[in-house]
Amino acid sequence: MANPRWEFVRFTAITIFVSVTLLAGTCVVAASSQDPVVQQELDRVLHLPGQSFNVSFAHYSGYVTVNEESGRALFYWLVEAVEDPQSKPLILWLNGGPGCSSIAYGMAEEIGPFHINADGKSLYLNPYSWNQVANVLFLDSPVGVGYSYSNTSSDLLNNGDKRTAADSLSFLLKWFERFPQYKGREFYILGESYAGHYVPQLSLVIVLYNRATADKTINLKGYMVGNALTDDYHDHLGVFQFLWTAGLISDQTYKKLNTLCDFESFIHSSDACEKIQEIAYKELGDIDPYSIFTPPCKANVSGSNLLRKKMHWIGRISQKYDPCTEAHSTVYFNLPEVQKALHVSPKFAPAKWETCSQQVNEHWKDSPRTVLDVYKELIHSGLRIWVFSGDTDAILPVTSARYSIDALKLPTVKPWRAWYDDGQVAGWTEEYEGLNFVVVRGAGHEVPLHKPKLALTLIKAFLSGTSMPTLQLVSDA
């Protein structure tokens, strides 16, 4: 998802990593209140550096301690709905990696209101922000990601799916104490890529917790994942088939991928599988595998200064696709004044803030080869479950989503059809018993980055539990 990704070519559901950074191990006592509701007011963000516009919504950011013994704290950023936040649902957004920041991707280039200009210093308002329809909570998870930290440095070498889910539950329970106005609110969990693990796993621990305690704080109504890692075997089949069908790899490589990698883990694969994946990557050439038809980011942070002069920034809505968004957030979120505004004390701040932590990624522990068992458990628990897929992504492509869903063997309720936006086919959809599948046409790995308007249509349909729009013959214009 950024520039020098080829140095770390690993054919996994991950993004790239530029450099390894260790979190500052020492911390001092930060001023904070014991009263959670008082802490809510302290977390209020009043103004962001580079924000030249006013916003009508409130937003909050700060830390929630999820484990006192080790000193693990997760960083969150809540943006309330633009209008009438009391009547809108609460959604939690998670990015993947493992090791990538939901602030870097979700907030700053996908569904959040604050996006970053190419100067890395100023902000613009995303006209398709999902806080038009919901209160949106971004969480940097697990520790070692974004601004989230641990006082026990070995924690960063021992992240895995299980602890991530447990810490996230612990985060939510404490967060609702700080924001009691959201207790019992309709709640949805959303995410993409490796969050294809986090989202159903967290949903399951919440369902089990609610069952065991009869606690009504977390009113989980459903979850939705996009370009999500779901089942290593079926996802792999889909990747290889997509690469070959899109004409990106040779016949020989296609065959070898299928024989050397078919039963491999996505996160922990064998040397033989990794070797053939590297060959496959070389065959792709210098394209952006996360979005195969858009240009890759050529510039690094300093280089983008030159590029910027040629780009024509004409207002927000017509802003052109910028492949270098990650470079901009790397500048912005390292600014001391930005960290101060977001309540990130220099004592806890990472030595260098990164969009993705290579350290977290490389030391990932447990990563089950499938979460389809979790789907099977949750599909009958009454949750609304949607899966979407941008169809120009080669990392976790639409073919992977289809093979994985097919493996669930769910009966079809409404057959495959196109869905529409402004009279154009915007994608395809099929509704199964217990699961809706939505393809977003022309979108890459990060659907809301590439197709922001369609993504907003998607979240509206998901939250209202309605089918994707059909072709409207009568214009209401």
Ligand X SMILES: *[C@@H]1O[C@H](CO)[C@@H](O)[C@H](O)[C@H]1NC(C)=O
Give catalytic residue positions.
Answer: 193, 393, 445
State the DSSP string of 6-55.
GGG---SS--------PPP----PPP--SSHHHHHHHHB----TT--S--
Separation of alpha carbons 13 and 227, rounded Å: 9
Decide if residue 302 touches ligand X (CB under 6 A): yes
Q: Among 21, 24, 42, 71, which residue sits at the site for ligand X (rule: CB under 6 A)?
A: 71
Q: Among 7, 28, 309, 312, which residue sits at the site for ligand X (rule: CB under 6 A)?
A: 28
* Cβ atoms 446, 192 nearer than 8 A: yes
Q: Among 36, 49, 303, 368, which residue sits at the site for ligand X (rule: CB under 6 A)?
A: 303
Decide if residue 27 touches ligand X (CB under 6 A): yes
Q: Minimum CB separation from ligand X for residue 53, in Å? A: 5
Decide if residue 65 touches ligand X (CB under 6 A): yes
- Closest residue to ligand X, judged by C-beta, is 71
Which of 63-71, 188-196, 419-427, 450-458 is the region at the interface with ligand X (rule: CB under 6 A)?
63-71
DSSP state, residue 469: P
* Cβ atoms 45, 61 nearer than 8 A: yes
Amino acid at the residue 202: L
Decide if residue 306 touches ligand X (CB under 6 A): no
Q: Rank residues 160 and 303 by Cβ distance to ligand X and give the closer one.
A: 303
Contacting residues for 252 by C-beta, under 8 A, at least 6 apart:
none
Where does residue 265 rank: exposed (0-12), middle (13-18), buried (19+ CB within 10 A)? middle
* Cβ atoms 322, 298 nearer than 8 A: no
Backbone φ, ψ for residue 24 (5° rounding): -60, 125
Separation of alpha carbons 172 and 385, rounded Å: 20
Decide if residue 12 touches ligand X (CB under 6 A): no
Decide if residue 19 touches ligand X (CB under 6 A): no
Which of 67-75, 134-142, 190-198, 419-427 is the region at the interface with ligand X (rule: CB under 6 A)?
67-75
Q: Rank residues 30 and 413 by Cβ distance to ligand X and give the closer one.
A: 30
Backbone φ, ψ for residue 91 (5° rounding): -120, 140
Q: Rank residues 27 and 58 by Cβ distance to ligand X and give the closer one.
A: 27
Which of 180-188, 244-252, 263-271, 298-306 is the region at the interface with ligand X (rule: CB under 6 A)?
298-306
Decide if residue 360 touches ligand X (CB under 6 A): no
Q: Minimum CB separation from ligand X for residue 276, in Å? A: 27
Binding site for ligand X (CB under 6 A): 27-30, 53-54, 65, 68, 71, 73, 151, 300, 302-303
